[in-house]
Amino acid sequence: MRVIAAITAKDLRQRLKDGSLLLFGLVLPLGMAFLFAHLLGDGPGDGLDIRYLVVDSDGGGLGGVFVDDVLRPLDEDGVISLEEAADTEEAEHLVEEGEADAAFLLPQGFSDTVAGGDRAVIEIVGSADSAVQVQIAREIADSFAVEADASRTAVLEALEAGADETPEALSQRVREQPAPLSLVDDTTADWRELDTATYYAAGLAYFFLFFVVMSSVTGILDERRDGTLARLLAAPVRRSAILAGKSLSATIVGAAGLFVLAAVSSLVLGSQWGPLPGVAALVVSGTLAAVGITAAVVTFSSSSEQATNRISVVAFGLGLLGGGLFPVAQLGALSVLSFATPHRWFLHGLAELGGGSFAAVLVPVLVLSAMAVVTGALSLFRLGRMLNA
């Protein structure tokens, strides 16, 4: 143990003098996460400010349904900002002055027109500078129009079939009925999602983790080149102790970098990594997996330059496939392959922590630990051949 501690301490002193540690461990992942989070936005509307006005000159049942059951819930959920205007002139003026992006104008007699089977119009007044928000307003109005048309058709068919209820009562019954068909996004039932800031902070931090731990592991090849490894092997030191010391220093540096980045990104970007015990388990197991993979690559290399190039290729490939650079859902069918990467399991564990259950990270931690054990065993098996090469 004293030999492992001595090798670890020496390697840590060397790493702390290395400027690349700060670059790959903090500056690049935090800077890129800040850039991506602000470019792509976050939350409902993806950072888009949507300000709408509504003028309900109808005051009838259907107009009230549109305002109270369609627009106001969107306002309460933070998707849009909704205000009522006194009349059409005020709404048009506010839109023209840039105080609102668009306005919904419900004409007088709107509900009676629809109930009578005639064509009614929801007019949308928009600003030329808010084309996206205006298009969203049109989509909202179109969706409501389709639903209203379906309800009117149901009422007319019921009346033609001899229903003894009034059209108003039938309309109320139609509105109270649950939708016969609905789309449910079930992706978060077994796989939760991280918010934008946390996703890119964690994904990029783990992506650059491979470059952070790389120098410690490739140090074995540097020492072999410089001749210091031969003197170390001449002493009564087990070869496994050399690998253990290098791997331990890489693990300490990598885990410390992830913890620092988690704290800084939480303060600067507002990212939410989750409860500390769960984050700690993921950081340690994820770092061990990264160290094991880089160590395995090193044992198949003949020089530190070759190992650095190979680790860079492996790190980029795993990061790309595992979602460290962008959501793996964009890969389509190839996203299944992401389960073979530690990046996917690390991000999955953090997402599960958002559900408030520490037990939810057990599977990701076990998978990451298994990756570390398998790659570590391969490294130890290959170590003798590498040192003799």
Q: Is the pLDDT of residue 325 over 80?
A: no
Which long-range contacts does 14-20 make (Cβ < 8 Å, 24+ apart)?
14/219, 15/215, 15/216, 15/249, 15/253, 18/215, 20/211, 20/215
Give residue 180's pLDDT.
41
Of 137-146, 184-193, 304-313, the range with the highest mean pLDDT is 304-313
Give residue 41's pLDDT.
53
Neighbours of 352 (CB within 10 A): 24
Report the distance separating Cα 259 and Cα 280, nearest Å: 8
Q: What is the pLDDT confidence band of residue 182, given thresholds at 50, 70 and 90?
A: very low
Return the H-helix or E-strand segment holding 193.
Answer: none
267: CB partners within 8 A, 6+ apart: none
Percent of the chain with pLDDT over 90: 22
Report the distance separating Cα 49 and Cα 5, nearest Å: 55
pLDDT in tens, 355-368: 556 777 899 999 99
Q: Is the pLDDT of residue 54 over 80?
A: yes
Structure tokens at 389: 């090469």
Of 24-38, 39-53, 226-240, the range with the highest mean pLDDT is 24-38
pLDDT in tens, 125-165: 987 778 878 888 888 888 777 766 655 555 455 555 555 55
DSSP 36-88: HHHHH--TGGGG---EEEEEE---SHHHHHIIIIIIHHHHHTTS-EEEE-SSH
Give residue 375's pLDDT.
94
Structurally, at CATH architecture level, domain 50-185 sits in 3-Layer(aba) Sandwich (3.40)
- Residue 183 identity (one-letter amino acid): L
For CATH 3.40.1710.10, list the domain ranges present in the chain: 50-185
Give residue 265's pLDDT.
86
Lowest mean pLDDT among 82-91, 171-180, 332-341: 171-180
Where would I find the beta strands (DSSP E) of the chain?
51-56, 81-84, 102-106, 123-126
Mean pLDDT across 323-346: 78
Q: Is the pLDDT of residue 38 over 80?
A: no
Region for 121 from its dihedrals, namely left if φ exceeds 0, alpha if ψ lies in -120 to 50, beta otherwise: beta
Give residue 109's pLDDT.
85
When comparing pLDDT for 261 and 172, which is higher?
261
Inter-residue contact 296 to 375 (CB < 8 Å): yes
Neighbours of 303 (CB within 10 A): 14
Structure tokens at 373: 């054990």
Give residue 103's pLDDT.
93
Partners of 83 in the beta sheet?
A: 53
Q: Is the pLDDT of residue 230 over 80?
A: no
Q: Is the dihedral of CA 294, 296, 298, 300 positive or negative?
A: negative
Looking at the chain, how many residues does it have?
389
Q: Is the pLDDT of residue 26 over 60?
A: yes
Owner of token pair 């160590």: 295
pLDDT in tens, 255-276: 998 998 888 888 888 888 888 8
Report the distance separating Cα 113 and Cα 131, nearest Å: 30
Q: Is the dihedral of CA 33, 38, 43, 44 positive or negative?
A: negative
Q: What is the pLDDT confidence band of residue 330, given thresholds at 50, 70 and 90?
A: low
Structure tokens at 62: 């259907």
Q: Is the pLDDT of residue 46 over 60?
A: no
Q: What is the pLDDT confidence band of residue 89, given thresholds at 50, 70 and 90?
A: very high
Average pLDDT, rounded, for the chain: 78
Mean pLDDT across 298-304: 86
Q: Is the pLDDT of residue 174 over 50?
A: no
User: Which of 350, 300, 359 minimizes the C-alpha distance to 324?
Assistant: 350
Q: What is the pLDDT confidence band of residue 43, given thresholds at 50, 70 and 90?
A: very low
When comparing pLDDT for 39 and 75, which is higher?
75
- Residue 269 identity (one-letter amino acid): L
